[in-house]
């Protein structure tokens, strides 16, 4: 089993060990125990899933939601009242749907705006990867990923190091830092992930012309940052520092 196959299975593993006894999960769990990179990825995914579950538990459902849902179920088995007696929006089915939408919007607001900060782009990038995230666009075709980013007005990498052409592209997403658009393109090799953040360099705090990469050790993550005439780049990885240096 490859790490990609194991990740596919482990993406469905529920936080808290509920699936530990599932025979279908056994090969992927064994792979995670034997591969340090996969184990680190799995631990991050589980921590992220637990955080999502905690946030969901913290959302209080609207008062009367259960009664509204049950009333809607009962109403579906009763003759329809004349429309003149009850406004359409007052029907229990619509009230139940509206209550469910409130919960989804509350969760969506937390998901989209979970606080990740940093005084500089490299600090923000490390915090973002450490926090855990989801890709908005998946695919191995880097040209297609760039097209997707361009359609969303995300800054595009002018020229990545040649070694990145040998990496397996995972996908991309757009995000914001200091009110500016940032593009994120993710790659993988041998179970290690390389997250490339690209931002237009004008006006970024701590900006300086650094054509040669500057390397940073951030505990379980390593990073490198540099600029060209147009963009600032930050690469964050769970690989060893020597591996990151060889890639760049």
Same domain, 52 and 143: no
Same domain, 99 and 189: no
Same domain, 154 and 230: yes
Domain that holds residue 171: 121-247
Dig out the tokens for 164 from the structure: 């990145």
Same domain, 192 and 126: yes
CB 248 within 8 A of CB 233: no
The better pLDDT of the pair 21, 116 is held by: 21
Same domain, 243 and 129: yes
Percent of the chain with pLDDT over 90: 34
Residue 139 belongs to domain with CATH number: 3.30.200.100
**For 180-191, how does the pLDDT look when each residue is reduced to its tens digit (9 = 90+)?**
899 999 999 988
**For 110-135, how does the pLDDT look when each residue is reduced to its tens digit (9 = 90+)?**
444 456 778 889 999 999 999 888 89
Residue 16 pLDDT grade (very low, low, confident, very high; cuts 50, 70, 90): confident
C-alpha distance from residue 77 to each of 70, 109, 204, 211 (Å) = 11, 35, 61, 70
Largest CA distance in the chain: 74
Q: How many CA atoms lie within 13 A of 125 on its CB side?
A: 31
pLDDT of residue 91: 56
Same domain, 138 and 175: yes
> Vertex 141, ends 47 and 38: CA angle to 5°?
30
What's the pTM value of the predicted model, to 2 decimals?
A: 0.57
The better pLDDT of the pair 77, 242 is held by: 242
Computed over every residue of the chain, the mean pLDDT equals 80
pLDDT of residue 201: 84
Same domain, 183 and 139: yes
User: Can you name the residues that pair with 172 across neighbouring β-strands?
Assistant: 137, 185
Residue 17 has pLDDT above 80, yes or no: no
Same domain, 152 and 238: yes
């Amino acid at each position: 089993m490859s790490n990609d196959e194991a990740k596919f299975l482990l993406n469905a593993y529920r936080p808290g060990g509920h699936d530990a006894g599932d025979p279908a999960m056994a090969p992927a769990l064994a792979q995670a125990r034997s591969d340090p990179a996969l184990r680190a990825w799995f631990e991050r995914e589980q921590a992220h899933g637990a955080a999502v579950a905690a946030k969901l538990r913290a959302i209080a459902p609207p008062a009367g939601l259960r009664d509204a849902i049950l009333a809607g179920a009962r109403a579906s088995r009763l003759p329809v009242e004349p429309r003149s007696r009850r406004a359409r929006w007052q029907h229990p089915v619509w009230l139940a749907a509206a209550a469910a939408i409130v919960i989804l919007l509350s969760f969506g607001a937390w998901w989209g705006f979970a606080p990740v900060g940093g005084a500089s782009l490299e600090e923000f990038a490390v915090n973002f990867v450490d926090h855990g995230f989801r890709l908005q666009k998946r695919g191995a075709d880097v040209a297609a990923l760039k097209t997707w980013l361009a359609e969303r007005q995300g800054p595009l990498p002018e020229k990545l190091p040649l070694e990145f052409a040998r990496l397996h592209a995972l996908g991309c997403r757009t995000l914001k830092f200091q009110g500016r658009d940032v593009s994120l393109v993710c790659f993988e090799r041998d179970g290690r992930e390389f997250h490339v953040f690209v931002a237009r360099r004008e006006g970024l705090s701590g900006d300086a012309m650094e054509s040669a990469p500057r390397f940073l050790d951030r505990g379980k993550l390593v990073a490198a940052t540099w600029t060209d005439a147009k963009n600032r780049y930050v690469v964050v990885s769970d690989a060893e520092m020597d591996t990151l240096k060889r890639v760049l």
